[in-house]
Amino acid sequence: MRGVVFDGKRVEVAYDLQVRDPGPGEVLVAIQAAGLCHSDLSVVDGTIPFPVPVVLGHEGAGVVEAVGVGVTHVVPGDHVALSTLANCGTCAECDRGRPTMCRQAIGRPGQPFTRSGRPVFQFASNSAFAELTVVKAVQAVRVPKDIPLPLAALIGCGVLTGVGAVLNRAKVDRGDSVVVIGAGGIGLNVIQGARIAGALRIVAVDANPAKEAVARQFGATDFLTSVEAVRELLPAGADHAFECVGRVELIRAAVDLLDRHGQAILLGVPPAGAEASFVVSSMYLDKSILGCRYGSSRPQRDIALYAELYRGGRLLLDELVTQTYPVEEFDRAAADAEAGKVARAVLTF
């Protein structure tokens, strides 16, 4: 079968990939579409270290092909969006509703794929850039069949991370002021999350002026190409500043833009080991810096919620898919994403 494989040096569309059968508690999914998130590109450029060879992709949706022993919540033929959380479901963190913190699911990449008999790693417990992938039952979330799969795919990372950061982590309230630094696939979902939460002022900042139209479409009330000008719009600062690029100087800017009691939410992923600084005395006014993994999501609940918000016209998904690319054209999709030509590039199988 086909899949996008990174071997540590280059990315290649492989045709000789194989995946094992689903074991007990696992689901085999025929991927129909998968969004290209910056985290996939960050594996290739070394920003996110990951063992190789690896099948990339972690924002996918498809059709259940087969289920392993003990799986009853989905059956072959069901449409599913996939989460990246292979959480165990039985530990204290899972039990208290924090599957993103499950220790069983962090830093233990599996190798369900083979190529010429050699094992290949699975990225983010997911590897959605493959015709077939095997995930844990908790990761396969059924979605209504009237939602096109290229749209459902984007829920699996961009929406869960961006909207989830607003609703679950920052808990943005009606009337709050929000600054969103970076209006890519993650930032646009922070923007629409803030709109859904009832934020009054949503200031989008993106170095690429071409992002203005889509940022406003998703709910931005203002658009700037640099963080420097935010103070002119929000003289007292912001209640929430989301960093959605992954650069330490923008993390610093997010902290510096906070009003009293404000919080900076860190979503962007700079290179491993990167350090950021802040003026300590600025923080005593009840300010907070919040890390956020995967929107602090609870995928079975949240994916179902976002699917309904989409059907009700409140969550935009169609507008995120600027263009689809057959998986063979991964290089073109990656180039367009890097150049900022798309909100999300979506690969199809």
Ligand X SMILES: NC(=O)c1ccc[n+]([C@@H]2O[C@H](COP(=O)([O-])OP(=O)(O)OC[C@H]3O[C@@H](n4cnc5c(N)ncnc54)[C@H](O)[C@@H]3O)[C@@H](O)[C@H]2O)c1
Residue ranges that bind ligand X, judged by CB under 6 A: 37-39, 42, 157, 161, 181-187, 205-208, 211, 244-247, 250, 267-269, 292-294, 337, 340
User: Phi and psi dihedrals of 343, rounded to 5?
Assistant: -70, -55
Q: Closest distance between Zn ion and the C-beta of residue 339, in Å?
A: 19
Q: Which is nearer to ligand X, 75 or 213 (CB)?
A: 213
102 in contact with Zn ion (CB under 5 A)? yes
Q: Closest distance between ligand X and the C-beta of residue 44, in Å?
A: 12
Closest by alpha carbon to 305, among 295, 291, 290?
A: 295
Return the number of other C-beta atoms located less than 10 Å from residue 207's C-beta.
15
Q: Which is nearer to ligand X, 141 or 204 (CB)?
A: 204
Cα(58)–Cα(51) distance, integer angstroms: 15
Q: Are 244 and 265 in contact (CB under 8 A)?
A: no
Mention every residue, 6+ apart, whose C-beta is less than 8 A from residue 247: 268, 270
Q: Which does 184 bind (CB under 5 to 8 A by kind): ligand X, Zn ion, none?
A: ligand X
Question: Out of 39, 126, 177, 296, which residue is the one contacting Zn ion (CB under 5 A)?
Answer: 39
Q: Which does 94 bind (CB under 5 to 8 A by kind): ligand X, Zn ion, none?
A: Zn ion
Q: Which is nearer to ligand X, 120 or 191 (CB)?
A: 191
Torsional sign, CA 109, 183, 100, 131? negative
According to DSSP, residue 101 is labeled G
**Letter for the amino acid at 214?**
V
Q: Are 197 and 175 in contact (CB under 8 A)?
A: no
Q: Which does 215 bind (CB under 5 to 8 A by kind): ligand X, Zn ion, none?
A: none
Q: Which does 91 bind (CB under 5 to 8 A by kind): ligand X, Zn ion, none?
A: Zn ion
End-to-end CA distance of the chain: 10
Q: Which is nearer to ligand X, 29 or 154 (CB)?
A: 154
Question: Out of 17, 94, 257, 309, which residue is the one contacting Zn ion (CB under 5 A)?
Answer: 94
Q: Which is nearer to Zn ion, 83 or 177 (CB)?
A: 83
Return the number of other C-beta atoms located less than 10 Å from residue 133's C-beta.
31
How many residues make up the chain in this entry?
349
Segment near Zn ion (CB under 5 A); pick from 99-107, 247-255, 264-272, 273-281: 99-107
**Letter for the amino acid at 332?**
R
DSSP 126-164: T--SBSEEEEEGGGEEE--TTS-HHHHHHIIIIIHHHHH
Q: Closest distance between ligand X and the C-beta of residue 211, in Å?
A: 5
Q: Are 47 and 5 in contact (CB under 8 A)?
A: no
Which residue's CB comes closest to ligand X? Answer: 184
Cα(251)–Cα(238) distance, integer angstroms: 14
Q: Which does 245 bind (CB under 5 to 8 A by kind): Zn ion, ligand X, none?
A: ligand X
Segment near Zn ion (CB under 5 A); pick from 93-101, 169-177, 189-197, 316-324: 93-101
Q: Which is nearer to Zn ion, 234 or 244 (CB)?
A: 244
User: How many degrees, rounded to 5, is the angle at CA 236 between CA 232 and CA 239?
Assistant: 110
87 in contact with Zn ion (CB under 5 A)? yes
Cα(222)–Cα(218) distance, integer angstroms: 11
Q: Which does 340 bind (CB under 5 to 8 A by kind): Zn ion, ligand X, none?
A: ligand X
Q: Which is nearer to Zn ion, 94 or 159 (CB)?
A: 94
91 in contact with Zn ion (CB under 5 A)? yes
207 in contact with Zn ion (CB under 5 A)? no
Mention every residue, 6+ apart, whose C-beta is less than 8 A from residue 277: 252
Contacts with Zn ion, 140-179, as mask; x by CB under 5 A: -----------------x----------------------
- Using CB under 5 A as the criterion, which residues of the chain lie in contact with Zn ion when the complex forms? 37, 39, 87-88, 91, 94, 102, 104, 157
